[in-house]
Chain A
């Protein structure tokens, strides 16, 4: 009996120690996040505010240049805000799913438009290999943000002058979307943490807010899919696996009609 009690005390102490460590880490993460927010939101905004007055310039060549810079900053800002809104919605449980029939390749093209300056900056080429010749049923906004985060990461962490490969494959009843980039991969021993918040590698270069992959995982789960990554030393591939639905049900209430029309006759009332 005594031994059991001792074991229990040892177990609880370890647990307490663990929780204490988590608390300290979480305080650190909060502080870091706030300073990141300050930079990542403030810098593009300051740039925008600085650029806008110059748009009054007469010189049309100069104006075009400024417009381009302003668009670049606005796209950065928009991306961060989209991610923050998504994280807040997931954490609040108020995310609404809205399914429709879409062509994944068109959606990827749309994402690429929003990332054109990221690619230009590092001279990154995009290669899309689409082996799926049909449309799929999914929530386009969610998938858009998933792919946008993966591609933005591929641009941020990928080597300059390299090619980012996107592959869309159908694997039985699953849809796989692979995003592959040349460059240093997250370390394998870091894998359990990579999809959690604020998990940027210590010592590595810091990009963004450190919430992208946690949002990707959250959104993949909402779509009843998964996210994982693999590396071969020179490149890293992130794979999104989603259920492959190709038919939109007649009912508007997709995913929510499981028993709307079933009666609750003979049910228990509490």
Chain B
């Protein structure tokens, strides 16, 4: 059970908080990257819909290649450092079986997380990605653990 408040994030949001709070979200083909700094009890999460910003519209963190560097930056601003951060990644499910396009989005979302984290030399210590189920996750900043539950389709709606 979490002691502090739990912040729910939607697509395109980034949240960084400290122990004993928690950050939660619901994922379909979207991916959330969770970063945690054990020494500071500091952690953050993003939630992105698509792998790459297409050069149009605002550079919002709905896109993995924007959201992940922004999350890392936010962690650094809050006092963490790259070598203390560990990452966990979730989501990237193929929500519509048969629709190859949708399947690819989940896969590409996962791929971009792995690539960018590797580039920054942040280790992925745990992950639960792919598959066909949506996920509810909650990052508990007191312990640095993520609680995960699979969702039924109705929980997700058309969410990420």
Contact = CB atoms under 8 A, between A and B. Distances in A.
A90 B60 contact: yes
B24 interface: yes
Nearest to B13: A93
Contacts of A196: 56-57
A268 B147 contact: yes
Contacts of B39: none
Contact of A87 (B6, B58, B67, B138): B58
A92 B57 contact: no
A91 interface: yes
Contacts of A195: 57
B57 A214 contact: yes
B58 A268 contact: no
A214 B59 CA distance: 10
Interface residues of B, number: 31
Interface in A226-261: 253, 255-260
B118 interface: no
Contact of A193 (B56, B60, B147): B56
B152 to A, nearest CB: 13
B147 A217 contact: no
Interface in B114-160: 126-128, 136, 138, 145-149
A158 to B, nearest CB: 25
Contacts of A222: 12
A264 B149 contact: yes
Interface in A91-123: 91-95
A22 B55 contact: yes
B52 to A, nearest CB: 11
A26 interface: yes
Interface of B: 6-8, 10, 12-14, 24, 26, 46, 55-61, 66-67, 70, 88, 126-128, 136, 138, 145-149
Interface of A: 22, 26, 87, 90-95, 192-193, 195-197, 214-215, 217-218, 221-222, 253, 255-260, 264, 266-270
